[in-house]
Amino acid sequence: DIECLMSEGNKSRTVAATNMNEESSRSHAVFNIILTHTLMHLGSGTSGEKVSKLSLVDLAGSERAAKTGATGERMKEGSNINKSLSTLGLVISALADQGAGKNKTKFVPYRDSVLTWLLK
């Protein structure tokens, strides 16, 4: 089932030719799997759940417009890709600082891109 869903999702991804790649990915892909394990104790009748979330992420690569030869819509896509990757870097940096105890109150800019909001 998972393989079929991932295949369908990949068909929906935007790809286009650039000077560097004939089938350049023009979008990020995030595939979220949520597993729920329900536990039932037959003796006492109590139950509980264990929930796990797995995110599979395929990021479009950052690009330089001059190398790809991108213009118009392709340049705009490249700019959006670079912005979301830059935001992802800022989120990772803020979380690393918090984890290291450097700045517990540092703002984490999840909402600055759809990618980071989905990964939150």
What are the tens digits of pLDDT across the range 73-113? Answer: 767 777 788 888 999 999 999 999 998 888 878 899 999 99
Q: Domain holding 48: CATH number?
A: 3.40.850.10
Domain of residue 85 covers 2-119
What are the tens digits of pLDDT across the range 55-82? Answer: 888 888 766 666 666 677 767 777 788 8
Residue 31: closest CA among 12, 50, 15: 12
110's tokens: 């999840």
Residue 3 makes CB contacts below 8 A (sequence gap 6+) with none
The number of distinct structural domains making up the chain is 1
Rounded Cα–Cα distance for residues 108 and 88 (Å): 10
